[in-house]
Amino acid sequence: MQFNTEPIPDARAYMWTQAKCLKLDLSVPHEAMAGEARALRDRFIPYRNQDSYGHQGWYSLPLFGLSLDKPMSWDAYGYANANEAAKDFDWTSVAKHCPITVNWLKTQFPSNKLGRVRFMLLEAGGFIAPHIDSPYSIPDPVNIALTNPQDCVWQWGDGTTLDFPPGTAYAMNISYEHSIYNRSNEDRYHLIVHHHDSTEEWKQLMTTALEKQDEEGYFYYSTDLY
């Protein structure tokens, strides 16, 4: 990706910061969303079970993206870049079973161009092994806890943990190593939202979160999608 310090035509803004995550002031009907996710549990598919990390019990259910059976990033499916893949994004067949979640995404989430949107399931006793997802220090994918059992812990590579109660939304900087261990007897359901634009509402949301956490960060601009 190439970034510019000043806005350019048809570019979106990306927040560069050393913050591991930014807590977003979003009101989320997480209990109703969790109910929709649970009702579709038998439709979830294994997620990243073929990579070298050895994750266990990790599943995904795309609501918006390439298709119901393609939950991973564009580069797993032969696309030249994210911009090309985005042309094929649409609501999947399970979206019609999630009216509350879909309505929230369309009316409350500050984006007019969604990227991948997925329910994510980490089974009781499962774990997501330590890994890094991005070379860019950009807290961009929004991870929302629909449920988060007490003994399910997000851990950063430096050993610190993240308080992640249900209903909480974070813009995650996944250039930092992270892992999740569900040592409970309950499944963990989250919603992860990517987006392909940067509305004024989104930029204000990120700026406010940065200020509240007393972190430094700057918007950079690119026509390439993250």
Residue 1 lies in a domain: no
Give the HSE-up count for residue 54: Cα atoms under 13 Å, Cβ half-sphere.
Answer: 3
Nearest to 120 by CA among 173, 47, 64: 47
Count other C-beta atoms under 10 Å from residue 214's C-beta.
7
Number of domains the chain contains = 1
Tokens of 44: 């979830």
Residue 2 lies in a domain: no
Residue 7 lies in a domain: no
CA distances from residue 17 to 1, 134, 171, 178, 201 in whole angstroms, order as listed: 16, 14, 11, 17, 19
Residue 5 lies in a domain: no
Q: Which residues pair with 89 in a beta bridge?
A: none
Q: For residue 203, what are the domain limits?
A: 12-222
Residue 3 lies in a domain: no
pLDDT in tens, the chain (226 residues): 788 888 888 899 999 999 999 999 999 999 999 999 999 999 999 998 777 778 999 999 999 999 999 999 999 999 999 999 999 999 999 999 999 999 999 999 999 999 999 999 999 999 999 999 999 999 999 999 999 999 999 999 999 999 999 999 999 999 999 999 999 999 999 999 999 999 999 999 999 999 999 999 999 999 988 7
Decide: helix, strand or coil at residue 147: coil
The per-residue pLDDT for 1 is 72
Query: What is the CATH number for 117?
Result: 2.60.120.330
Handedness of CA 100, 97, 76, 56 (dihedral sign): positive
- Per residue in 2-39, pLDDT tens? 888 888 888 999 999 999 999 999 999 999 999 999 99
Q: What is the DSSP letter of 223?
A: S
Residue 105 lies in a domain: yes
Residue 205 lies in a domain: yes
Residue 6 lies in a domain: no
CA–CA separation, 164 and 152 (whole Å): 9
- Per residue in 187-208, pLDDT tens? 999 999 999 999 999 999 999 9
Give the HSE-up count for residue 16: Cα atoms under 13 Å, Cβ half-sphere.
Answer: 10
CA distances from residue 116 to 56, 68, 71, 196, 212 in whole angstroms, order as listed: 22, 11, 8, 9, 28
Task: Characterize the bridge pairing of strands 21-23 and 152-156.
Answer: unpaired
Tokens of 222: 């690119």
